[in-house]
Amino acid sequence: MSNNSLADQIRSDIQSLQSDLRALQDGVRLSSVRDSVEDLQTSVNGMEQRIKSLRSRGYAFEKDLEGKAADFAAQWAELAPNIQRQIERDAQSLSRSLRPLEAQIVALAAKNGSPAALRPQVSKLKSQVDALQGRVEAAESGIRGSYDNFSMAVNRVQMQIGKLEWMLKELSEASFELLATESGIMAVKAVWAKDGKERKDDPEGVLYLTDQRLIFERKEKVATKKVLFVATEKKLVQETLWETPVATIESTKARKEGFMNKDDFIDIALGEGAPYDSLSLHIWQPADEWVALLTRAKAREFDATRAIEIDAETAAKVKSAPTQCPSCGGAINQVILRGMESITCEFCGVVIRL
């Protein structure tokens, strides 16, 4: 290698060392771990209020959420002081190791010696920088390891709360209203694949599961004006396309479609009283999770997790609902949902108050 080429290489190596040094100055403070711990503390501290907000907006299930939030707060009160002590102890040790390196790299950058003479110093400092970076990474890994399981448990509940918050927001904007004492269980962005295979013109919207119904609401912006095939004006189209009582669900199946099977679909077979024999939907949550949700809803398992009790008088109306029309005597086959005020006889058309 020529002297000029070697000089260029040494200058480049020194610049790289200076860049690594700047990264280390932040790394030895363990800033990344400090930020993660701060985020975790914010999540734990804010969870109780987020759950209170869910309840005030009508989310009635998972009565153990409050208990989980309280447990997280108690566990964090024990974990946090030890984590903070470990961060400070490791950061001080790493900072002490960095100081001589800082001085040597600054001195090296100011030297005008021959490239050949500087080369061994550059190589030695590079090894020392790499070794200290390894210590930083080991310290970060050790600290994270002390709270990883706790953090994962908190994040799982945080994600669940986030989905519920989104559901309640969508319900507040929906084109339909919930029945008295009816409560949302989950909602998801979805496309109704009308013939089982998703097509370009299939309606996009939100699939809602409540303790009583499965509802699909179209909710999408459609072009009202195009220029050279590009939409220049759009309007929001929002309408309930179908609903069916949870009791009409006979079976559910999850499947994967699309590129590398990344798209989640759910197929639902329906029985008597449903608007269709079957439904297929492309959903933006894991389909197997929705299979579990629908199975639990049909089995009325969510009732046992209620944090908000059902009004006794409203529940009694369903139990005392007639099985025959008082006008024509025809059998009432309609699925009667809690909160309904009346039903219509399919034979004579008379409205029966519940």
Q: How far is residue 229's CA from residue 226's CA, in Å, rounded to a whole number?
A: 5
Is 164 contained in some domain?
A: no
Residue tagged 């299979």 (tokens): 291
Specify whether 152 is located in the same domain as 190.
Answer: no
Local confidence band at 53 (pLDDT 50, 70, 90 cut-offs): very high
Which domain, by its residues, includes 335? 311-354
Q: How many helices (H) and strands (E) does the chain have?
A: 7, 9
Q: How far is residue 273's CA from residue 334's CA, in Å, rounded to a whole number?
A: 6
Specify whether 213 is located in the same domain as 349.
Answer: no
Specify whether 202 is located in the same domain as 325.
Answer: no
Specify whether 139 is located in the same domain as 40.
Answer: yes
Is 162 contained in some domain?
A: no
Q: Is 345 helix (H, G, I), strand (E, B) or coil?
A: coil
Q: What is the pLDDT of residue 313?
A: 76
Structure tokens at 315: 């529940």
Task: Name, of 5-9, 39-43, 327-331, the range with top average pLDDT.
Answer: 39-43
pLDDT digits (tens, 9 = 90+) for 81-101: 999 999 999 999 999 999 999
Local confidence band at 337 (pLDDT 50, 70, 90 cut-offs): confident
pTM as predicted:
0.84
Which residues, other chains included, contact 336 with Cβ-Cβ below 8 Å and sequence gap of 6+?
Answer: 318, 321, 343, 354
Specify whether 197 is located in the same domain as 290.
Answer: yes
Specify whether 299 is located in the same domain as 326.
Answer: no
Specify whether 236 is located in the same domain as 218.
Answer: yes
Q: What is the pLDDT of residue 5?
A: 79
Of 19-28, 148-157, 323-332, the one with minimum mean pLDDT is 323-332
Specify whether 14 is located in the same domain as 98.
Answer: yes
Q: Is 253 helix (H, G, I), strand (E, B) or coil?
A: strand
pLDDT at 348 over 60: yes
Q: How many domains does the chain have?
A: 3
Specify whether 153 is located in the same domain as 39.
Answer: yes
Specify whether 110 is located in the same domain as 216.
Answer: no
Specify whether 111 is located in the same domain as 237.
Answer: no
Is the CB of residue 47 less than 8 Å from the CB of residue 161?
A: yes
pLDDT digits (tens, 9 = 90+) for 195-248: 989 999 999 999 999 999 999 999 998 877 776 666 677 889 999 999 999 999
Is 166 contained in some domain?
A: no
Give the CATH number for residue 240. 2.30.29.30
Residue finishing a domain among 157, 183, 207: 157
Is 190 contained in some domain?
A: yes
Q: What is the pLDDT of residue 245?
A: 96
Q: What is the pLDDT of residue 138?
A: 97
Is the CB of residue 171 less than 8 Å from the CB of residue 184?
A: yes
Is 163 contained in some domain?
A: no
Specify whether 277 is located in the same domain as 243.
Answer: yes
Question: What residues does 253 pair with on adjacent strands?
Answer: 267
Q: How far is residue 4's CA from residue 234's CA, in Å, rounded to a whole number?
A: 63
Q: What is the pLDDT of residue 113?
A: 65
Question: Which residue would you say has higher pLDDT here, 16 or 148?
Answer: 148
**Mean per-residue pLDDT of the chain:** 90
Which residues, other chains included, contact 271 with Cβ-Cβ below 8 Å and sequence gap of 6+?
Answer: 248, 249, 250
Task: Name, of 180-184, 206-210, 272-276, the range with top average pLDDT.
Answer: 206-210
Angle CA 280–286–289, to nearest 5: 90
pLDDT at 1 over 70: no
